[in-house]
Amino acid sequence: MSVCLVCETRIEPFLSFGKMPIANGFLLPEQFRDEYFFELKVAFCPNCRMVQLAELVDRERMFHENYAFYSSTSVRMSEHFRRFADWVRTNYLTESDPFVVEIGSNDGIMMQNFARADIRHLGIEPSSNVAQVARDKGIRTVSRFFDEDLAKSIVAEDGRADAFLGANVMCHIPYIHSVFAGVKTLLKPRGILAFEDPYLGDIVEKTSYDQIYDEHALYFSAASVSYLADRHGLELIDVLPQPVHGGSMRYVLSHSGAYPISDAVRALRAKEEQLGLAKSETYDRLRTSVERSRDDLRALLLTLKGDGKRVVGYGATSKSTTVTNYCGITPDLVEFISDTTPIKQGKFSPGVHIPVRPYPEFVSRYPDFALLFAWNHADEILAKEQAFQQAGGKFIGYVPKVGLCG
């Protein structure tokens, strides 16, 4: 039993993964002994409809000077954020001398578009290593966790904002009321909040349970975002589905009454009712699908091992920490995980300790199978890996179903 992070109703987990390590906690052998574990379990709140973690990890354990995820490792994501920034500029930066704030700005993948256009901007990024990469690109960045107090000091120094942005960060913040209160303080009368995160509807429809890990405390829908907005004098005015990260939703909010509410909001609310996102049975069914996915993936990897096939992981994603630990995927089933991120290379994956190797090791000796942990970047990766496939190599996926892809 725990208490809802949004409305304080008492809630029960519907799915438990057991003990899990820090999803981005890639480590060296001398650190294995002291590795940190917590109980990964998710709950649905029938009152405010927020799906959420029932046990939280302290933010400083996850976001710090050695944060392992660098946003700019995907070319397609850079293009996505260029389009996101263009959309903000065209639709919402209509007043003179606009000011844009982004939280979770990481290495500047989105903010670089505003900095290059000489638009007043501020990135807020607590993980100081990635924040420094952004600064080196000329992006004004503070290395702090965003909350209501920081919002007040930004207003005092820079004035109010025309746009407050966040991608794959709102869902990382369990003290979400402080963030929404900060947004309320920070926005100009016609300012907007636009944020995108993996969409609960996609997680349920695709059984993409690997979106569930320590960093992702909240799993949003139009219903839960509307509830939150309402508590802070804000309003959900538009929703725009995005294909990135396996199915995301961009939520657009403003001060209540500042803009008309789009038909897309009403349509999505109706679709969520149809999908059963308000019913606890839906989450019981999700648990069953997750268990089946785990059993299928494990069975497939055991068969391949029995057949003497070499299997290598592709992309040491945060998501892969949930999959490997939950499905019991150890180095005897997956030889190593190939990843292009220098800070992950030469280390071992959290919990199950699969070696993480630089990408050239994948290319120099292709395995029989590549387990696509970065399935959300499948388009980009399959296009890049034609030589692997021509050499007879095959990609294994597990979302929405376990099987070969490409």
Beta bridge partners of 123: 102, 141
Contact track, ligand DWN, 212-231, x by CB under 6 A? ---x----------------
User: Smallest distance from the beta carbon of 359 to ligand DWN, in angstroms?
Assistant: 6
User: Smallest distance from the beta carbon of 304 to Zn ion, in angstroms?
Assistant: 43
Contact track, ligand DWN, 320-339, x by CB under 6 A? -------------------x
340 touches ligand DWN by CB under 6 A: yes
Pick from 104, 198, 315, 351 the residue near ligand SAH by CB under 6 A.
104
Pick from 54, 101, 109, 115 the residue near ligand SAH by CB under 6 A.
109
Pick from 20, 27, 48, 57 the residue near Zn ion by CB under 5 A.
48
User: Smallest distance from the beta carbon of 241 to ligand SAH, in angstroms?
Assistant: 16
172 touches ligand SAH by CB under 6 A: yes
- SS3 per-residue string spanning the chain: CEECCCCCCEECEEEEEEEEECCCCCECHHHHHHCCEEEEEEEECCCCCCEEECCCCCHHHHCCCCCCCCHHHCHHHHHHHHHHHHHHHHHHCCCCCCEEEEECCCCCCCCHHHHHCCCEEEEECCCHHHHHHHHHCCCCEECCCCCHHHHHHHHHHHCCEEEEEEECCHHHCCCHHHHHHHHHHHEEEEEEEEEEEECHHHHHHHCCHHHCCCCCCEECCHHHHHHHHHHCCEEEEEEEEECHHHCEEEEEEEECCCCCCCHHHHHHHHHHHHHCCCCHHHHHHHHHHHHHHHHHHHHHHHHHHHCCCCEEEECCCHHHHHHHHHHCCCCCCCCCEEECCCCCCCCECCCCCCEEEEHHHHHHCCCCEEEECCHHHHHHHHHHCHHHHHCCCEEEECCCCCEEEC
The rounded distance, in Å, linking the Cα atoms of 140 and 122 is 5
| Nearer of residues 52 and 105 to Zn ion, judged by Cβ | 52
| Nearer of residues 109 and 334 to ligand SAH, judged by Cβ | 109
The rounded distance, in Å, linking the Cα atoms of 145 and 100 is 17
Residue type, 400: P
Pick from 145, 195, 227, 314 the residue near ligand SAH by CB under 6 A.
145
130 touches ligand SAH by CB under 6 A: yes
Stretch that binds ligand SAH, among 90-98, 168-176, 279-287, 348-356 (CB under 6 A): 168-176
Stretch that binds ligand SAH, among 40-48, 89-97, 102-110, 355-363 (CB under 6 A): 102-110
134 touches ligand SAH by CB under 6 A: no
| Nearer of residues 71 and 221 to ligand SAH, judged by Cβ | 71
Q: Which entry of Zn ion, ligand DWN, ligand SAH, none binds 47, CB below 5 to 8 A by partner kind?
A: Zn ion
Helices (H) and strands (E) counted in the chain, each on its own, are 14, 19
315 touches ligand DWN by CB under 6 A: yes
69 touches ligand SAH by CB under 6 A: yes
Pick from 103, 203, 301, 374 the residue near ligand SAH by CB under 6 A.
103
Among positions 41-70, residues that touch ligand DWN (CB under 6 A) are 69
Among positions 126-155, residues that touch Zn ion (CB under 5 A) are none
User: Smallest distance from the beta carbon of 196 to ligand SAH, in angstroms?
Assistant: 8
Which conformational region is residue 138 in: left (phi greater than 0), alpha (psi within -120 to 50 degrees), or beta?
A: left
* Residues binding Zn ion: number (CB under 5 A): 7
264 touches Zn ion by CB under 5 A: no
| Nearer of residues 58 and 284 to ligand SAH, judged by Cβ | 58
Q: Which residues bind ligand DWN (CB under 6 A)?
A: 69, 73-74, 168, 215, 315-319, 339-341, 359, 374, 376-377, 380-381
